[in-house]
């Protein structure tokens, strides 16, 4: 330790000596004013380099919300919920992006127990620092409209899109997504969000579904004068017929809803006329949501192709095995089937799109979630009507333009970041 201190002192003295020489040279050339200018330029350069490093390398630490345990708001294994917060600055101090983490669901004893050994079932297994990119980025170049806002990611450890409220005695598992949602949101209100002027609730995949389910709930908790809107990315899961003629995702969702006691927390505008499983599908919810929503989705959502349209259980002959992971390997009949899925998605948003307050960006890409990665958010983003995703969402949120963009069918779009 003493050796390291001596080395540090030697370096510091060397630095001071160089600075003295620099000051003498600059003073000889142009006087004290030039010295001050040189010092200011050096400090300004350091600040710029610091900002660039922070924007590129920021890793946001986790906050474990221990106080939530007393409210029964716990992960599946009973550990406390958690979130990551990167505070806003300047004009963004009273604005908030609240991001609900995604990560699928669990529907039975085996899959739920498995998830308790992962970050999706226990805060003990969550990363202690995570990168904020895309819509969560603090870099103005990457995230022009929201970079200076308070940006918070609520971690996902209930496996029910933050909507369940049950304890399974046999499995010894907690399904407390609704309580986690309530406890973390109340905590955020207490630490500053209660005075928010702008709030955007976002989520990807299972988090995108959660953003839809909780959109009106958040609106009710915030000041009437605040601008509150919701963005669902890759969350438009469809009640679609699979390649065997069944409804694989509907069966799966039925198990999730039953196991996790989701029904009481679903929007009453849907459950007053449809069963609970149907009301876990966004297509049956979105028309009744009063708060403005932006739907960002790939018309050829790869998660839905792989897990809902052509899961292994429905594709017993393996006909779809290559196609679902490589679009160029799909034959004419398979492409026709996928075009039918796109048509169903377009039909599902028809009434939703009639509201001036809602927004749409449905591109003909083979992708799943496009707002949380810089490459698809703003760094060469897919474009519709000559606008990328970040610009489209910003224009919609701030009312700069109406955004109702639906792409032509595959393979017309050359701006896609296809991932299969």
Angle at 362 between CA 283 and CA 398, to 5 degrees: 95
Whole-number average pLDDT of the chain: 89
pLDDT at 420: 61
Q: Pairing mode, if any, of strands 227-233 and 293-298?
A: parallel
Using one digit for the tens of pLDDT, what is the confidence trace for 42-51? 334 434 433 4
Provide the pLDDT confidence category of residue 41 given band limits of 50, 70 and 90.
very low
Q: Pairing mode, if any, of strands 173-175 and 166-168?
A: antiparallel
Q: Pairing mode, if any, of strands 166-168 and 95-100?
A: unpaired
- The residues, any chain, with a CB within 8 Å of residue 194's CB and separated by 6 or more, are 222, 223
| 392 pLDDT above the threshold of 70 | yes
104: left (phi over 0), alpha (psi -120 to 50) or beta: left
pLDDT at 7: 31
pLDDT at 21: 33
pLDDT at 57: 55
Nearest to 294 by CA among 400, 409, 395: 395
Assigned token pair, 66:
């221990």
Provide the pLDDT confidence category of residue 419 given band limits of 50, 70 and 90.
confident
Q: What are phi and psi of 150, to 5 degrees?
A: -65, 125
Separation between Cα atoms, residue 178 and residue 168, nearest integer Å: 15
Q: What pTM did the predictor assign?
A: 0.86
**Secondary structure of residue 290 in the 3-state scheme:** coil
pLDDT at 4: 33
Give catalytic residue positions.
Answer: 205, 301, 368
Long-range pairs of 349-358 with CB within 8 A, sequence gap ≥ 24: 349/236, 349/286, 349/295, 349/406, 351/287, 352/286, 352/287, 352/293, 352/295, 353/404, 355/292, 356/402, 357/292, 358/292, 358/293, 358/294, 358/295
pLDDT at 58: 81
Is-contact 128 279, C-beta < 8 A? no
Is-contact 130 153, C-beta < 8 A? yes
Going along the chain from its start, the domains and CATH numbers come out as: 60-406 (3.40.50)
Kindly tell me the burial class for residue 1, based on how many C-beta atoms sit within 10 Å of its own C-beta (0-12, 13-18, 19 or more).
Answer: exposed
Assigned token pair, 27:
């003073």
Nearest to 200 by CA among 353, 296, 95: 95
Is-contact 150 198, C-beta < 8 A? no
Nearest to 178 by CA among 109, 267, 296: 267
Using one digit for the tens of pLDDT, what is the confidence trace for 333-344? 999 999 999 999
Element (H, E) at 167: strand 166-168
Provide the pLDDT confidence category of residue 418 given band limits of 50, 70 and 90.
confident
Is-contact 164 329, C-beta < 8 A? no
Separation between Cα atoms, residue 175 and residue 173, nearest integer Å: 7
| 410 pLDDT above the threshold of 70 | yes
Separation between Cα atoms, residue 309 and residue 168, nearest integer Å: 30
Kindly tell me the burial class for residue 115, based on how many C-beta atoms sit within 10 Å of its own C-beta (0-12, 13-18, 19 or more).
Answer: buried
Nearest to 151 by CA among 88, 61, 57: 88
Nearest to 375 by CA among 179, 143, 165, 150: 143
Is-contact 350 358, C-beta < 8 A? no
| 13 pLDDT above the threshold of 70 | no
Using one digit for the tens of pLDDT, what is the confidence trace for 346-364? 999 999 999 999 999 999 9
| 54 pLDDT above the threshold of 60 | no
Nearest to 349 by CA among 360, 339, 341: 360
Length of the chain: 420
Q: Pairing mode, if any, of strands 359-363 and 404-406?
A: parallel
Separation between Cα atoms, residue 41 and residue 327, nearest integer Å: 53
Using one digit for the tens of pLDDT, what is the confidence trace for 261-320? 999 999 999 999 999 999 999 999 999 999 999 999 999 999 999 999 999 999 999 999
Using one digit for the tens of pLDDT, what is the confidence trace for 154-193? 999 999 999 999 999 999 999 999 999 999 999 999 999 9
Kindly tell me the burial class for residue 379, based on how many C-beta atoms sit within 10 Å of its own C-beta (0-12, 13-18, 19 or more).
Answer: middle
The percentage of residues in the chain with a pLDDT greater than 70, rounded to a whole number, is 86
Separation between Cα atoms, residue 244 and residue 318, nearest integer Å: 12
Provide the pLDDT confidence category of residue 33 given band limits of 50, 70 and 90.
very low
């Amino acid at each position: 330790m003493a050796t390291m201190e001596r080395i540090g002192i030697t370096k510091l003295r060397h630095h001071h000596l160089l600075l003295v020489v620099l000051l003498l040279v600059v003073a000889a050339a142009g006087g004290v004013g030039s010295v001050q200018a040189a010092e200011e330029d050096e400090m300004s350069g350091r600040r710029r380099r610091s900002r660039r490093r922070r924007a590129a390398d920021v890793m946001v630490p986790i906050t474990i919300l221990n106080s939530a345990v007393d409210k029964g708001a716990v992960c599946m294994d009973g550990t406390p919920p958690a979130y990551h917060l990167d505070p806003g600055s300047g004009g963004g101090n009273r604005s908030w992006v609240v991001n609900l983490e995604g990560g699928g669901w669990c529907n039975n004893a085996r899959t739920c127990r498995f998830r308790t050994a992962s970050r999706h079932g226990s805060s003990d297994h969550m990363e202690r620092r995570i990168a904020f990119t895309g819509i969560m980025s603090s870099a103005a170049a990457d995230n022009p409209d929201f970079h200076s806002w308070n940006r918070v990611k609520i971690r996902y450890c209930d496996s029910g899109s933050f909507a369940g409220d049950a304890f399974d005695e046999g499995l010894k598992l907690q399904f407390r997504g609704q309580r986690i949602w309530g406890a973390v949101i109340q905590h955020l209100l207490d630490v500053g969000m209660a005075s928010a002027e702008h709030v955007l609730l976002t989520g990807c995949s299972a988090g995108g579904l959660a953003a839809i389910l909780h959109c009106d709930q958040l609106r009710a908790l915030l000041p009437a004068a605040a601008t509150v809107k919701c963005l669902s990315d890759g969350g438009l899961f469809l009640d679609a017929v699979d390649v065997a003629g069944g409804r694989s995702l509907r069966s799966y969702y039925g198990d999730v809803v039953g196991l996790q006691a989701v029904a009481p927390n679903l929007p009453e505008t849907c459950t007053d006329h449809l069963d609970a499983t149907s009301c876990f599908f966004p297509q049956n919810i979105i028309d009744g949501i009063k708060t403005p929503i932006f739907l960002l989705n790939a018309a050829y959502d790869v998660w839905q192709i792989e897990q809902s349209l052509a899961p292994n259980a429905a594709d017993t002959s393996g006909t779809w095995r290559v196609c679902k992971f490589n679009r160029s390997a799909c034959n004419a009949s398979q492409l026709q089937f996928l075009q039918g899925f796109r048509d169903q998605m377009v039909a599902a948003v028809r009434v939703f799109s009639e509201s001036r307050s809602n927004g749409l960006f449905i591109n003909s890409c083979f992708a799943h979630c496009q707002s949380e990665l810089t490459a698809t958010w703003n760094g060469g983003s897919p474009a519709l009507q000559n606008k990328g995703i970040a610009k489209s969402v910003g224009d919609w949120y701030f009312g700069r333009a109406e955004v109702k963009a639906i792409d032509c069918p595959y393979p017309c779009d050359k701006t896609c970041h296809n991932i299969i």
